């Protein structure tokens, strides 16, 4: 029988096994060594590997990111952990101006094998500054790889691939995905950069769901099935390098691209995917394109507005339905218990 693990446990195991395998791997960041160990993703690592390899830091995101780069220059493979992606805004100078550029601007003389883990928050009033999915920034800048695994299987495989990669990898987690359970082999394996996965088959519309929105897209697939619409769902897994071919092939078949992102649409991952698919299929076949993401506002904390702020399975299904059947045929599925979102309960 397949071994089932929670997403957080898959991350923990990947780090644990890689640290066992390779002395140059270390984990640090605010609170990785505290009793909560970043939702358990770093649990037990301190006692197993010691305080030189697993350590909490002062609140100094800028310097600690710079330090991670310095460690990588010296041949270590640091995993730098941030409990919120929002906090990476303090580290942008080192990420964009140094990590992404060092190899190129030094003519290939160095490489920066570092992993930056960060989490996207959602719900329970996390609000303006604890909920952003800002990975399009990292997609924009050449020299950074970006992984956004959605299943425990991919969480483990992407993290191992990221650790072994000789380049800086931004590893994007989502607080709600942390609760996902799924099959995870005990053995070491990688989910390598640049390969997307078709997670549900269909011929009417291609749903690309990024990060947590992958889960909502899979739920939307079920809602849509009720109306006879076959949605092909794709999980890009890696946003850079991006496996655009798999998406293009699907849209070549379905004629409809619907990208649902876990971030804002403007200059976001959904804009890029839409543009690339159009570029690839123009003159080949007439297609329809749609994007959905966070509402173009700051994330509000009050639940009724927050509900509207995020796409969900039903709003996704409704939009896909009108792509297929025309906007005139309005339809919104009744909420199904088995397809409800996990309700995250605070404090945080």
Partner 1 sequence: MYEKFYRSLYRIRRVEERIAEVYPTDKIKSPVHLSIGQEAVSVGVCEALRPDDVVFGTYRSHALFLAKGGNLKAMIAELYGKATGAARGKGGSMHLIDLEAGVLGTSAVVGTTIPNAVGYAYAIKYRRENRLVVSFLGDGGTDEGVFQESLNFAALKKLPIIFICENNGYAIHTHQRLRHPALNICERARVVGMPAERIEDNDTIRIFERVKNAVDLIANGAIGPHFLECMTYRWKEHVGPNEDYQLGYRSKDEAEPWIRNDQVIKIGALLGEKEKRAIEDAVDAEIADAFACADADPFPEESELFTDVFK
Indicate which residue of 61, 232, 272, 306 is catalytic: 61
**Cβ pair 208, 257 in contact under 8 A:** yes
265 binds partner 1 (CB under 8 A): no
Taking CB under 6 A as the criterion, the residue among 19, 26, 30, 319 binding ligand TPP is 30
How does strand 169-174 pair with strand 54-55?
Answer: unpaired
What DSSP assignment string belongs to 91-120?
GHIIIIIIITTHHHHTTTS-----EEEEEE
When CB distances are held under 5 to 8 angstroms depending on the partner's kind, the choice from a second copy, partner 1, ligand TPP, none that residue 347 binds is partner 1
* Helix 213-226, helix 313-325: angle, nearest 10: 50
Q: Which of 154, 173, 272, 306 binds a second copy (CB under 8 A)?
A: 272
Q: Active site includes 321?
A: no
**Tokens for 7?**
């997403």
Q: What is the largest CA-CA distance in the chain?
A: 63
Choosing from 4, 51, 110, 267, the residue that interacts with a second copy (CB under 8 A) is 267
User: By C-beta, is 71 or 274 nearer to a second copy?
Assistant: 274
Per CB under 8 A, the segment of 86-94, 109-117, 152-160, 178-186 that binds a second copy is 86-94
Instruction: Quote the least distance from Cβ 82 to a second copy, whole Å.
Output: 12
Member of 1, 2, 3, 345 binding partner 1 (CB under 8 A): 345
Q: Helices in the chain by DSSP H: which ranges?
A: 7-21, 45-49, 61-73, 92, 102-105, 135-140, 152-164, 213-226, 244-254, 269-281, 303-309, 313-325
The upper half-sphere exposure of residue 233, i.e. CA atoms within 13 Å in the direction of its Cβ, equals: 27
Q: Which among 12-20, 48-56, 201-209, 325-333 is the span making contact with partner 1, rule CB under 8 A?
A: 48-56
Spatial distance between the Cα atoms of 39 and 53, rounded to a whole number of angstroms: 19
8 CB-near residues (< 8 Å, 6+ apart): 39, 40, 41, 178
Classify each residue of 217-256 as buried b or exposed e, where b means 16 or more C-beta atoms within 10 Å of its C-beta: bbbbbbbbeeeebebbbbbbbbbbebbbebbbebbeebbb
d(CA 248, CA 246): 6
Using the rule CB under 8 A, is 270 a contact of a second copy?
Answer: yes
| Partner whose footprint covers residue 286, from a second copy, ligand TPP, partner 1, none (CB < 5 to 8 Å by kind) | a second copy
Query: Is residue 291 at the binding interface for a second copy, with CB under 8 A as the rule?
Result: yes
| Peptide bond just before 256 cis, omega within 30 deg | no
87 is a contact residue toward ligand TPP (CB under 6 A): yes
Stretch 67-96 residues interacting with partner 1 (CB under 8 A):
67-76, 78, 86-87, 89-90, 93-94
Q: What is the distance in angstroms between the CA of the first residue and the CA of the last residue of the chain?
A: 34
If one asks whether residue 92 binds ligand TPP (CB under 6 A), the answer comes out as no
- The conformational region for residue 135 under phi > 0 = left, psi -120 to 50 = alpha, else beta, is alpha
Which range binds partner 1 by CB under 8 A, 64-72, 199-207, 218-226, 317-325? 64-72
Contact between 73 and a second copy by CB under 8 A: the answer reads no
| Contact positions with a second copy (CB under 8 A) in 139-198 | 139-143
Taking the least distance from each CB to partner 1, the nearer of 7 and 49 is 49
9 versus 61: smaller Cβ distance to ligand TPP: 61
The mark string for 32-61 relative to ligand TPP (x by CB under 6 A, - otherwise) is: ---------------------------x-x
* CA-CA-CA-CA torsion sign (14, 133, 334, 288): negative
Catalytic residues: 61, 130
- Give the binding site for ligand TPP (CB under 6 A): 30, 59, 61, 83, 87, 90
- Give the binding site for a second copy (CB under 8 A): 62, 86-87, 89-90, 92-93, 95-97, 100-101, 104-105, 127-129, 132, 134, 136-137, 139-143, 240, 263-272, 274-275, 278-279, 282-283, 286-291, 296-298, 300
């Amino acid at each position: 029988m397949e071994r089932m693990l929670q997403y957080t446990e898959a991350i923990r195991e990947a780090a644990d096994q890689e640290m066992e395998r390779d002395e140059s791997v270390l984990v640090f960041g605010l609170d990785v060594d505290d009793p909560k160990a970043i939702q358990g993703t770093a649990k037990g690592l301190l006692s197993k590997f010691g305080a030189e390899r697993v350590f909490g830091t002062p609140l100094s995101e800028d310097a600690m990111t710079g330090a991670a780069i310095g460690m990588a220059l010296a041949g270590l493979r640091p995993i730098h952990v941030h409990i919120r992606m929002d906090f990476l805004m303090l580290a942008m100078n080192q990420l964009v101006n140094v990590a992404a550029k060092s190899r190129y601007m030094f003519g290939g003389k160095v490489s920066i094998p570092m992993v930056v883990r960060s989490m996207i928050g959602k719900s329970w009033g996390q609000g303006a500054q604890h909920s952003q999915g800002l990975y399009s920034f990292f997609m924009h800048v050449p020299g950074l790889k970006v992984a956004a695994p959605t299943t425990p299987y991919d969480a483990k495989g992407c993290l191992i691939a990221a650790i072994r990669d000789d380049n800086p990898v931004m590893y994007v987690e989502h607080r709600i995905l942390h609760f996902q359970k799924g099959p995870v082999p005990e053995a070491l394996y990688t989910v390598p950069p640049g390969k997307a996965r078709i997670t549900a088959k269909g011929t009417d519309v291609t749903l690309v769901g990024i990060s947590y929105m992958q889960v909502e897209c899979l739920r939307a697939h079920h809602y849509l099935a009720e109306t006879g619409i076959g949605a092909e769902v794709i999980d890009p897994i890696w946003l850079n390098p991006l496996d655009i071919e798999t998406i293009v092939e699907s849209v070549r078949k379905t004629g409809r691209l619907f990208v649902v992102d876990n971030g804002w649409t403007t200059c976001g991952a959904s804009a890029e995917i839409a543009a690339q698919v159009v570029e690839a299929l123009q003159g080949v076949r007439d297609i329809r394109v749609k994007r959905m993401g966070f509402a173009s506002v700051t994330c509000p904390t009050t639940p009724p507005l927050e509900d509207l702020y995020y796409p969900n399975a039903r709003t996704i299904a409704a939009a896909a339905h009108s792509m297929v059947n025309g906007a005139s045929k309005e339809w919104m599925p009744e909420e199904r218990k088995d397809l409800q979102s996990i309700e995250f309960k605070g404090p945080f």
